[in-house]
């Protein structure tokens, strides 16, 4: 089996060696063949077309993609991985979906995810966990685990995900693909079901940085329906891909290299740094002194926002509704008890607590102040360096069930990724090798709205390495 | 013991924008249930609020009119609670950093004394939908047409000391928002509602007593009734040695009583926090200056101008200006007839308002437009017709589209000002009523009215009454 990049599909469609319909059918067939073993999709959209495209000369016309089930798409079931929305059919398109639809892309299906994007292993999904194509006893990461597994297993050439604390980068790292979280405000959040509004950002899971560049250009941009979206002009990312990296300075935060990383992963990181040095990049030790507070800060801010964002799931207008409507309080309690899973409840309760009278100052307000300090750390660092690098995760894919009963250990999964959400800066994870046949990823973080720099750096790396082109064994088995 | 009442009012004013505060849905009243609702008003998954700039402009207008500070940066916050007519499970409001802070308003009491009431703040927020409990048995219906309608909540300082003051403060705010054209102020439709924080304390004590919040007050009369009732209840309790419980009470206008809704202990913890979906609202000085320049002439300025430039009696000036629509009607009439502003004022305050009250309509629906009234009054002013005939014509004009001049012509109503022809009738009358003439000469001067009436009758009211008077006296004394 061959996995095609978006770039390759574009060329194939352009020189008419294959029609966009044939491409769509090819992927549908792969999804049908593999989804039982991977559980990457919650719904398969088998009757989509790219007709009605407003722009006929679109460079991505006919390219199919997988859509995380957190994005509303008109007429499609949109569950957000929850029982609460198991019957919810969205009456409208999220802005990023609409943007891509205008360009003639086709939705293959809606991918599995942790419930309401709360989780790092895909085990909180109401629709069963996704299996990692590299080892089906292991997690693909989360919360965009379905999107990551779909791309890794060749069930989709590219997928959309969302990243609130690492939900694109961590699964990308654990499945051996490229995952980009753009700057907060770069892509509209309209139609993306909210988890933590000040942290959520739509992004891309793809085979290569080049593919991410192609898609981001069409997804991103100001949206008057999202007051937090940015008016900053969207550059043509593909034009920056081949810029010379010589003279670039990369910061290595000592907080990411404090000796806690297992030596087998440390070796891969050192190898990739060496590869970058060959391109003329200089490395420099830096410090992000407040980054050690990222995880606790995040687990105050994100639950606080989620406790309010998820209040609308009350059974009154849409979604799951308890059959017990004997009185209002019982109805609310039963509806939410039945509709939400354990992790979502845990975060709603945490968030409700930190916003309560008497605790607000000590938790929420304090967390907001620490968040400012973390942002300031990044701003200071970027006075000295162009980008920051470090491991995306502390380990490769762990076994399903291993951490499910230990939320704190699960939360520590995001220790390297959370700070960029708190600060809003863009970050990308890319594969840099394997340990025990499991992929491992490295993260690159840039200043706000410098996605083109990230894509340029990773693209150059992917020109001289082939880690991102490795295909899981399960895909080869399927061909036999 | 004698008690002092301390009152602060929170007034909710629906702003008269075309669309809702965070969505594009219409705000029109009376549409079919749940039709003025967008996905944003319904709180659908994934949707986001976008602030309506018109609502912001209106709040700034109000702030400038009460000499308040307009916050250059204000914050929208979420007030979290569950209720079926609150679709998102939170209301977007403002807590810290409201758009308007620290203003004041002068009120006038019935005895003419004036008093300044401080206004702590005014903030923007969205209205909730409506729960309808009496439409289906054992079920509550939800209408979300109102959900997301912009509200300005105006919070006074605890400066108010009586139910009468509260009522005149409420009326003054009502008048102001109508003058500023930021609200229709329609209390039946719920566009203007009030909650009162009420406490009592022994005279001379500086600390406030424990207060209760009385909700659901939607008329000037009810605000007085509700407060009077609540003050009485509190004094009764205190004089019986009981404590006041800090609680929210509901005013029931049918029974004229307040009853508890919820106590502080069971009160919601609203868990306010800044809404991450909305950026802080930044307002630049240029915008504030522009709105300041566009502020209309307000009540006090209008009254002064009426008195000084138009020479109208103070009480009349105030009564005309009390209702901005009446004032506009008055000024529009003066545009077409400016010889005698006091006469225009007299006519509006007696005849026009008489019709409005009788027919229970607003001035905008009044049949005689300013231009037609002006033409009628011009004919009185130039002595073409008498006031009496004018009043008759005024009544005809309510149902006729004809102008005053057309009616005068059709009915031959021009006033007789020719002395010779009136004199003939005067002589005729005096001959016929010589007894009355003698009584007059004996000093019974009231009889003159009878004689004038006789002359007027014989001229079908067309004779100039002042002239008739003069001629009768002249004839008798001859």
- CATH code of the domain covering residue B468: 1.10.10.410
The answer to whether the CB of A147 falls within 8 A of the CB of A160 is yes
pLDDT, position A480 = 52
What's the burial of A381, exposed, middle or buried (CB within 10 Å: 0-12/13-18/19+)?
buried
Question: A54-58, A251-255, B312-316: which has the minimum mean pLDDT?
Answer: A54-58
pLDDT in tens, B292-343: 999 999 999 999 999 999 999 999 999 999 988 999 999 999 999 999 999 9
Q: Are residues A354 and A407 in the same domain?
A: no
Q: How confident is the model at residue B462 (pLDDT cuts 50, 70, 90)?
A: confident
Asked if residue B265 has pLDDT above 70, the reply is no
Helix/strand/coil for B275? coil
Cβ count within 10 A of residue A375? 17
pLDDT in tens, B94-113: 999 999 999 999 998 988 89
Instruction: Report if residue A472 sits inside a domain.
Output: yes
A389-410 CB burial, b ≥16 within 10 A, e <16: bbbbbbbbbbebebbbeebeeb
Supply the DSSP string of A142-209, one letter for each residue. Answer: SSSHHHHHHHHTTS-SEEEEEESSSTTHHHHHHHTSEEEE--TTSS--TTBPPSSTTT-EEEEEESSH
Q: How many domains does chain A have?
A: 2
What's the burial of B241, exposed, middle or buried (CB within 10 Å: 0-12/13-18/19+)?
exposed
Q: Are residues A387 and A353 in the same domain?
A: no
Asked if residue A50 has pLDDT above 80, the reply is no
Q: Are residues B77 and B220 in the same domain?
A: yes
| Contact partners, residue B218, CB within 8 Å, separation at least 6 | B187, B188, B190, B192, B193, B194
Contact A227 B87 (CB under 8 A): no
Residue of A133, A152, A151, A132 lying closest to A141 (CA atoms): A132
A337, A365, A393: which is the final residue of a domain? A365
B384, B411, B438: which is the final residue of a domain? B411
- CATH code of the domain covering residue A146: 3.90.1300.10
Contact B276 A318 (CB under 8 A): no
Is A68 labeled as catalytic in the residue annotation? Answer: yes
Asked if residue B57 has pLDDT above 80, the reply is yes
Is A188 labeled as catalytic in the residue annotation? Answer: no
DSSP conformation class of B382 = T
Instruction: Report if residue A283 sits inside a domain.
Output: no
Instruction: Report if residue B156 sits inside a domain.
Output: yes
Q: Are residues B245 and B381 in the same domain?
A: no
pLDDT, position A410 = 81
Q: Are residues A419 and A341 in the same domain?
A: no
Q: Are residues A456 and A417 in the same domain?
A: yes
Q: Are residues A90 and A238 in the same domain?
A: yes
Which residue has 């995306």 as its token pair? A392
Instruction: Report if residue B26 sits inside a domain.
Output: yes
Q: Rg of the Cα trace of chain B?
A: 30
In whole angstroms, give the CA distance from residue A82 to residue A96: 22
In whole angstroms, give the CA distance from residue A253 to residue A365: 27
Instruction: Report if residue B305 sits inside a domain.
Output: no
* Backbone torsions φ then ψ of A415, nearest 5 degrees: -60, -35
Q: Are residues B395 and B442 in the same domain?
A: no
Cβ count within 10 A of residue B465? 17
In whole angstroms, give the CA distance from residue B408 to residue B384: 9
The answer to whether the CB of B198 falls within 8 A of the CB of B228 is no
Interface list for A 113-172 with B (CB within 8 A) = none
B107 Cα distance to chain centroid: 14
In whole angstroms, give the CA distance from residue B119 to residue A257: 57
Q: Are residues B351 and B429 in the same domain?
A: no
> Which of A61, A68, A83, A403 is labelled catalytic?
A68
The encoded tokens of residue B396 equal 């005809």
Q: How many domains does chain B have?
A: 3
Q: Are residues B285 and B325 in the same domain?
A: no
How far CA A149 is from CA of A106, A434, B72, in Å, comes to 19, 17, 48
Nearest CA in chain B to A78: B45
Q: Are residues B183 and B276 in the same domain?
A: yes
Is A167 labeled as catalytic in the residue annotation? Answer: yes
pLDDT in tens, A419-455: 999 999 999 999 999 999 999 999 999 999 999 999 9
| Contact partners, residue B27, CB within 8 Å, separation at least 6 | B14, B17, B18, B19, B20, B36, B149, B150
Dihedral of alpha carbons A13, A14, A16, A17, sign = negative
B305 to chain A nearest CA, in Å?
Answer: 45
pLDDT in tens, A140-189: 999 999 999 999 999 999 999 999 999 999 999 999 999 999 999 999 99
Contact B277 A197 (CB under 8 A): yes
The encoded tokens of residue A352 equal 């409700």
In whole angstroms, give the CA distance from residue A315 to residue B84: 9
The answer to whether the CB of A218 falls within 8 A of the CB of A103 is yes
A365, A400, A429: which is the final residue of a domain? A365
Q: Are residues A154 and A236 in the same domain?
A: yes
Q: How confident is the model at residue A405 (pLDDT cuts 50, 70, 90)?
A: confident
Domain with A306, as residue range(s), is 293-365
The encoded tokens of residue B388 equal 């009496």
Q: Decide which of A43 and B458 is more confident.
A: A43
Q: Does A193 lie at the interface with B, CB-CB under 8 angstroms? A: yes
Instruction: Report if residue A370 sits inside a domain.
Output: no
Q: What is the pTM of this model?
A: 0.90
Asked if residue A53 has pLDDT above 70, the reply is no
Question: A190-194, A238-242, A474-478, B61-65: which has the minimum mean pLDDT?
Answer: A474-478
Count of residues in chain B? 478
The angle subtended at Cα B193 by Cα B189 and Cα B197, nearest 5°, is 160
Q: Are strands B114-126 and B100-108 parallel, antiparallel or unpaired?
A: antiparallel
Q: Are residues B52 and B133 in the same domain?
A: yes
In whole angstroms, give the CA distance from residue A314 to residue A323: 13
Q: How confident is the model at residue B267 (pLDDT cuts 50, 70, 90)?
A: low
Instruction: Report if residue B294 sits inside a domain.
Output: no
| Contact partners, residue B14, CB within 8 Å, separation at least 6 | B27, B127, B149, B150, B151, B183, B184, B190, B191, B192
Question: A378-382, B136-140, B339-343: which has the minimum mean pLDDT?
Answer: B136-140
Q: Are strands B77-80 and B273-274 parallel, antiparallel or unpaired?
A: antiparallel
CB < 8 Å to B271, chain A: 307-308, 352, 355-357, 360
Give A201's strand partners: A163
| Contact partners, residue B418, CB within 8 Å, separation at least 6 | none
Q: What percent of chain B has pLDDT over 70?
A: 99
Q: Which ipTM did the prediction report? A: 0.96
Q: Are residues A105 and A237 in the same domain?
A: yes
B80 to chain A nearest CA, in Å?
Answer: 7
Contact A94 B271 (CB under 8 A): no
Q: Are residues B328 and B264 in the same domain?
A: no
Q: How confident is the model at residue A371 (pLDDT cuts 50, 70, 90)?
A: very high
Distance from the first to the final alpha carbon of chain B: 75
pLDDT, position A478 = 66
Asked if residue B264 has pLDDT above 60, the reply is no
Domain with B447, as residue range(s), is 419-477
The answer to whether the CB of A138 falls within 8 A of the CB of A195 is no
Q: Residue A184 half-sphere exposure, CB side, CA atoms within 13 Å?
A: 21
Size of interface A-B (CB pairs under 8 A): 93
CB < 8 Å to A357, chain B: 269, 271
Instruction: Report if residue A277 sits inside a domain.
Output: no
Instruction: Report if residue B310 sits inside a domain.
Output: no
Instruction: Report if residue B301 sits inside a domain.
Output: no
CB < 8 Å to A224, chain B: 50
Nearest CA in chain B to A365: B273
Residue of A230, A96, A68, A169 lying closest to A458 (CA atoms): A169
Instruction: Report if residue A278 sits inside a domain.
Output: no
pLDDT, position A401 = 92
Q: What is the 3-state secondary structure (H, E, C) of A195-256?
A: CCCCCCEEEEEECCHHHHHHHHHHHCCCCCCCCCCCCCCCCCHHHHCCCCCCCCEEEEECCC
Instruction: Report if residue A285 sits inside a domain.
Output: no
Q: Are residues B353 and B277 in the same domain?
A: no
B383, B411, B439: which is the final residue of a domain? B411
pLDDT in tens, B5-54: 999 999 999 999 999 999 999 999 989 999 999 999 999 999 999 999 99
Dihedral of alpha carbons A350, A354, A359, A363, sign = positive
Q: Determine the average pLDDT of the residues in B278-285.
A: 97
Instruction: Report if residue B181 sits inside a domain.
Output: yes
Q: Does B277 lie at the interface with A, CB-CB under 8 angstroms? A: yes
In whole angstroms, give the CA distance from residue A285 to residue A115: 38
Q: Are residues A353 and A427 in the same domain?
A: no
Instruction: Report if residue B295 sits inside a domain.
Output: no
The answer to whether the CB of B274 falls within 8 A of the CB of B94 is no
CB < 8 Å to A312, chain B: 43-45, 87-89
Nearest CA in chain B to A302: B276
The answer to whether the CB of A368 falls within 8 A of the CB of A301 is yes
Question: What are the residue ranges of helices labelled H in B256-297?
Answer: 285-293
Instruction: Report if residue A272 sits inside a domain.
Output: no
Q: Are residues B154 and B214 in the same domain?
A: yes
Q: Are residues A344 and A383 in the same domain?
A: no
Give A162's strand partners: A202
DSSP conformation class of A293 = G
The answer to whether the CB of A217 falls within 8 A of the CB of A196 is no
Residue of B223, B244, B248 lying closest to B234 (CA atoms): B244
The answer to whether the CB of B127 falls within 8 A of the CB of A350 is no
Q: Are residues B403 and B275 in the same domain?
A: no
Instruction: Report if residue A45 sits inside a domain.
Output: yes
The answer to whether the CB of B37 falls within 8 A of the CB of B88 is no
Which residue has 């108010």 as its token pair? B160
Mean pLDDT over the full length of chain A: 95
In whole angstroms, give the CA distance from residue A472 to residue A154: 9
Asked if residue A475 has pLDDT above 90, the reply is no
Facing residue for A226 by CB, picked from B44, B48, B78? B48
Question: A8-17, A381-390, B149-158: which has the minimum mean pLDDT?
Answer: A8-17
Q: Are residues B264 and B221 in the same domain?
A: yes
Q: Are residues A384 and A466 in the same domain?
A: yes
Q: Are residues A187 and A307 in the same domain?
A: no
pLDDT, position A432 = 98
Count of residues in chain A? 480
A332, A365, A398: which is the final residue of a domain? A365
pLDDT, position B353 = 95
pLDDT, position A452 = 98
Q: Does B49 lie at the interface with A, CB-CB under 8 angstroms? A: yes
Helix-strand-coil split of chain A, %, nearest 5: 40, 15, 45
Nearest CA in chain B to A353: B271
Q: Are residues A341 and A468 in the same domain?
A: no
Supply the DSSP string of B300-369, one letter for each residue. Answer: HHHHHHHHHHH---HHHHHHHHHSHHHHHHHHHHHHH--S-HHHHHHHIIIIIHHHHHHHT--GGG-SS-
């Amino acid at each position: 089996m061959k996995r095609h990049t978006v770039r390759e599909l574009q060329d194939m469609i352009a020189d008419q060696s294959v029609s966009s319909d044939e491409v769509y059918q090819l992927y549908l067939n792969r999804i049908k063949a593999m989804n039982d073993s991977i559980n990457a999709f919650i719904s398969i959209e088998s009757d989509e077309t790219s007709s009605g495209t407003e722009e006929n000369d679109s460079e991505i016309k006919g390219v199919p993609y997988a859509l995380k089930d957190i994005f509303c798409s008109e007429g499609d079931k949109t569950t957000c991985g929850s029982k609460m929305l198991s019957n919810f059919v969205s009456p409208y398109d999220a802005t990023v979906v609409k943007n891509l639809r205008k360009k003639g892309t086709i939705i293959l299906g809606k991918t599995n995810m942790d419930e309401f994007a709360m989780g790092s292993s895909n085990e909180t999904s109401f629709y069963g966990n996704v299996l990692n194509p590299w080892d089906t006893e292991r997690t693909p990461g989360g919360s965009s685990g379905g999107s990551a597994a779909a791309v890794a297993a060749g069930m989709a050439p590219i997928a959309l995900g969302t990243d609130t604390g690492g939900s694109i980068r961590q699964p990308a790292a654990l499945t051996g693909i490229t995952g980009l979280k753009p700057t907060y405000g770069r892509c509209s959040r309209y139609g993306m079901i909210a988890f933590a509004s000040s942290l959520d950002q739509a992004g891309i899971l793809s085979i290569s940085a080049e593919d991410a560049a192609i898609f981001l250009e069409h997804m991103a941009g100001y949206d008057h329906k999202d007051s937090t979206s940015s008016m900053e002009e969207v550059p043509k990312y593909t034009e920056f891909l081949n810029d010379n990296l010589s003279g670039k300075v990369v910061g290595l935060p000592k907080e990411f290299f404090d000796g806690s990383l297992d030596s087998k992963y440390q070796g891969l990181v050192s190898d990739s740094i060496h590869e970058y040095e060959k391109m003329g990049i200089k490395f420099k030790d830096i410090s992000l002194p407040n980054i050690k507070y990222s995880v606790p800060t995040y687990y105050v801010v994100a639950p606080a926002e989620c406790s309010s964002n998820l209040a609308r799931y009350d059974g009154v207008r849409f979604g799951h509704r308890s059959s017990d409507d004997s009185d209002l309080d019982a109805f609310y309690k039963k509806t939410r008890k039945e509709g939400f899973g354990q992790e979502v409840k845990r975060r709603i309760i945490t968030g409700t607590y930190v916003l309560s009278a008497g605790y607000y100052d000590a938790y929420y307000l304090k967390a907001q102040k620490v968040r400012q300090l973390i942002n300031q750390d990044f701003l200071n660092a970027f006075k000295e360096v162009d980008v920051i690098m470090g491991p995306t995760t502390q380990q490769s894919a762990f076994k399903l069930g291993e951490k499910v009963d230990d939320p704190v250990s699960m939360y520590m999964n995001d220790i390297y990724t959370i700070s960029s959400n708190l600060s809003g800066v863009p970050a990308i994870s890319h594969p840099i090798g394997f340990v025990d046949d499991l992929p491992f990823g490295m993260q690159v973080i840039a200043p706000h709205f410098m996605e083109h720099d990230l894509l340029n750096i990773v693209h150059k790396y992917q020109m001289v390495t082939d880690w991102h082109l490795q295909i899981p064994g399960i895909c080869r088995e399927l061909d036999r | 013991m004698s008690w002092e009442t301390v009152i602060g009012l929170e007034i909710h004013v629906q702003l008269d924008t075309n669309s809702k505060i965070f969505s594009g849905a219409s705000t029109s009243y009376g549409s079919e249930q749940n039709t003025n609702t967008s996905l944003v008003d319904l709180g659908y998954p994934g949707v986001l609020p976008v602030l309506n700039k018109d609502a912001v402009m209106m709040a700034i207008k109000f702030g400038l009119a009460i000499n308040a500070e307009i916050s250059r940066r204000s914050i929208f916050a979420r007030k979290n609670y569950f209720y079926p007519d609150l679709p998102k499970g939170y209301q977007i409001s403002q807590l810290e950093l409201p758009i308007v802070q620290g203003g004041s308003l002068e009120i006038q009491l019935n005895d003419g004394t004036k008093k300044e009431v401080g206004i702590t703040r005014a903030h923007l927020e969205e209205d909730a939908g409506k729960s309808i409990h009496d439409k289906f048995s054992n079920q509550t219906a939800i209408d979300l047409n109102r959900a997301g309608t912009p509200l300005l909540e105006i919070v006074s300082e605890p400066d108010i000391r009586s139910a009468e003051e509260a009522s005149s403060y409420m009326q003054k705010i009502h008048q102001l928002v109508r003058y500023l054209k930021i609200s229709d102020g329609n209390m039946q439709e719920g566009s203007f509602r009030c909650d009162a924080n009420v406490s009592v304390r022994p005279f001379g004590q500086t600390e406030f007593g424990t207060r209760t919040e009385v909700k659901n007050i939607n008329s000037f009369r009810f605000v007085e009734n509700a407060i009077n009732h609540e003050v009485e209840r509190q004094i009764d309790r205190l004089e019986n040695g009981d404590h006041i419980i800090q609680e929210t009470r509901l005013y029931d206008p049918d029974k004229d009583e307040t009853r508890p809704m919820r106590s502080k202990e069971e009160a919601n913890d609203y868990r306010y926090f800044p809404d991450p979906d909305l950026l802080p609202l930044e307002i630049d000085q240029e915008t504030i200056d522009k709105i300041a320049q566009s502020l209309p002439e307000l009540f006090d300025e209008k009254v002064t101008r009426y008195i000084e430039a138009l020479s109208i009696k103070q009480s009349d000036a105030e009564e005309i200006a009390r209702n901005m629509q009446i004032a506009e009607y008055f000024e529009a009439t003066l545009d077409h007839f400016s010889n005698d502003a006091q006469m225009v004022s007299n006519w509006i305050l007696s005849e026009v308002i008489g019709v409005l009250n009788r027919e229970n309509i607003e001035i905008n629906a009044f049949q005689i437009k300013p231009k037609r009234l002006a033409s009628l009054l011009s004919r009185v002013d130039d002595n073409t017709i008498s006031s009496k005939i004018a009043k008759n014509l005024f009544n005809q004009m309510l149902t006729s589209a004809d102008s005053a001049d057309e009616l005068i012509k059709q009915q031959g109503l021009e006033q007789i000002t020719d002395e010779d022809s009136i004199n003939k009738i005067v002589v005729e009358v005096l001959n016929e009523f010589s007894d009355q003439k003698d009584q007059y000469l004996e000093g019974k001067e009231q009889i003159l009215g009878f004689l004038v009436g006789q002359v007027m009758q014989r001229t079908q009211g067309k004779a100039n009454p002042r002239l008739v008077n003069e001629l009768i006296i002249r004839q008798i004394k001859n």
